[in-house]
């Protein structure tokens, strides 16, 4: 027998839950005027080197990279933001006016150690708002994310926000952080020893060295006036909308493209893999990839983790049963039953016998199907 690859999953019994989840999340973003964008599953490796960042764990050790038959270096996308920005630039979407609002849904690939909530092929639902530098767009994006979670019935999530500054104030902070960590360098885990030189911000969210992060300098104390004003305004907007959040200086994210606002949605009872979604502002990315300087902000939810959270909260909706099973008494009637079922299928969920069952068998099969998964119940109203 050939088994599936470690860290991947067959979605069979849960497929209706997946369908319901995708539809529910989509409904929120469609109503906010976002349009779907579908980009290829694989891209030139350079795209991720330049965007996610050469020194990140994703690029250093987690990418599925291979050479194709033409000798090009190809990578299965580990995330969706860089591909969407590549498409934005390549298709000259800038000329269509700003803002541009996109969402995407699909598989991503990271060679991580599989465990509960951490897969090598996982799925993201992502949302990107391109064109606005203003904190009102940060507020809109966070509002939409919260509404998406509410629309599927999740309540026990925690929103954590932070600012990672910009090219003006971050270098000073990086120096302060290096100075702080220097005396502990020998005691840090092996990963952090490497990160110290390459990407010192990541030391803050290392689970093994968390005790050092507690007293580390906080970026919020190093923000330049513009970054501070942006962050303060965002906080005011979130307060105005009564969106609960916590400012958490350890939220630094695992991708290099972020500037200013970053945020994560945590679902504490999921244990080690408790981030159900995350995102932030990336004002320099489009320019870095060769486009004209265009600010943007977005986020992505991890679908597998949303499903774990829905299970935790007992919020997987009930399925609705079959409406009509058209019984056929004999072989001759089979085709008539199929025609009747076809007519009814405009309005109802229908089925007919295709197994040659006798009457009794058809009745019991019909009742079995009524209990099985057909369609998820309608989603609740958000308001």
Q: Which residues bind ligand HAM (CB under 6 A)?
A: 79-81, 110, 112, 117-119, 122, 124, 126, 128, 254-255, 275-280, 298-300, 302, 304-305
Q: Whole-number minimum distance, CB 26 to ligand HAM, in Å?
A: 16
Ordered alpha helix ranges (H), the chain: 15-31, 45-48, 57, 81-90, 135-151, 170-181, 190-198, 210-213, 225-240, 285-288, 303-312, 333-344, 359-371
Q: Whole-number minimum distance, CB 281 to ligand HAM, in Å?
A: 8
128-140: buried (b, 16+ CB within 10 Å) or exposed (e) per residue? Answer: bbbbbbebebbbb
Residues in the chain: 383
Q: Whole-number minimum distance, CB 224 to ligand HAM, in Å?
A: 22
The bridge status of strand 121-130 relative to strand 296-302 is antiparallel
126 three-class SS: strand
Beta carbon nearer to ligand HAM, 308 or 326: 308
Beta carbon nearer to ligand HAM, 142 or 200: 142
Q: Whole-number minimum distance, CB 23 to ligand HAM, in Å?
A: 19
Q: Whole-number minimum distance, CB 254 to ligand HAM, in Å?
A: 6
Residue 383 tokens, joined:
């308001």
- Rounded to whole angstroms, the Cα distance separating 31 from 53 reads 33
- Rounded to whole angstroms, the Cα distance separating 137 from 140 reads 5
Beta carbon nearer to ligand HAM, 32 or 180: 32
Residue 218 has phi, psi (to 5 degrees) of -100, 135
Beta carbon nearer to ligand HAM, 21 or 322: 21
Beta carbon nearer to ligand HAM, 117 or 317: 117
Q: Whole-number minimum distance, CB 143 to ligand HAM, in Å?
A: 15
- Using Cβ positions, the residue closest to ligand HAM within the complex turns out to be 302
**CB-based contact 296:283 (threshold 8 Å):** yes
Beta carbon nearer to ligand HAM, 131 or 278: 278
């Amino acid at each position: 027998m050939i088994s599936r690859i470690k860290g991947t999953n067959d979605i069979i019994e849960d497929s209706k839950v997946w369908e319901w989840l995708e539809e529910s999340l989509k409904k929120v973003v469609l109503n906010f005027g976002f349009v779907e964008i579908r980009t290829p599953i694989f891209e030139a490796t350079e795209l991720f080197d330049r965007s996610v960042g050469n020194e990140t764990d994703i690029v250093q050790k987690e990418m599925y990279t291979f050479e194709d038959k033409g000798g090009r270096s190809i990578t299965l996308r580990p995330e969706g933001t860089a591909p969407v920005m590549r498409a934005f630039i390549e298709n000259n979407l800038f000329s269509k006016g700003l803002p541009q609002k996109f969402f995407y849904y699909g598989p991503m690939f990271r060679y991580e150690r599989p465990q509960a909530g951490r897969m090598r092929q996982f799925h993201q639902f992502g949302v990107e708002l391109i064109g606005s530098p203003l904190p009102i767009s940060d507020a809109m994006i966070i509002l939409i994310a919260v509404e998406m979670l509410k629309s599927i019935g999740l309540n026990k999530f925690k929103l954590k926000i932070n600012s990672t500054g910009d090219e003006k104030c971050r270098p000073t902070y990086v120096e302060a952080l290096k100075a702080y960590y220097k005396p502990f360098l020998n005691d840090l885990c092996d990963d952090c020893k490497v990160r110290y030189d390459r990407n010192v911000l990541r030391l803050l969210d290392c689970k093994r060295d968390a005790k050092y992060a507690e007293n580390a300098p906080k970026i919020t104390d190093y923000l330049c006036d513009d970054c501070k004003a942006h962050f303060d305004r965002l906080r005011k907007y979130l307060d105005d909308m009564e969106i609960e959040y916590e400012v958490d200086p350890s939220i630094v994210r695992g991708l290099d493209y972020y500037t200013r606002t970053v945020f994560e949605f945590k679902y504490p009872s999921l244990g080690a893999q408790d981030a159900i979604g995350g995102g932030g502002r990336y004002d320099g990315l489009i320019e870095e990839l060769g486009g004209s300087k265009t600010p943007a902000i977005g986020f992505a939810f991890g679908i597998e983790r949303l499903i774990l959270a829905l299970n935790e909260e007992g919020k997987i909706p009930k399925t609705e049963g079959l409406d009509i099973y058209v019984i056929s008494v004999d072989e001759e009637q089979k085709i008539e039953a199929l025609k009747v079922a076809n007519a009814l299928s405009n309005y109802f969920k229908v089925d007919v016998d295709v197994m040659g069952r006798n009457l009794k068998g058809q009745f019991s099969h019909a009742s079995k199907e009524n209990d099985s998964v057909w369609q998820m119940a309608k989603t609740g109203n958000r308001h």
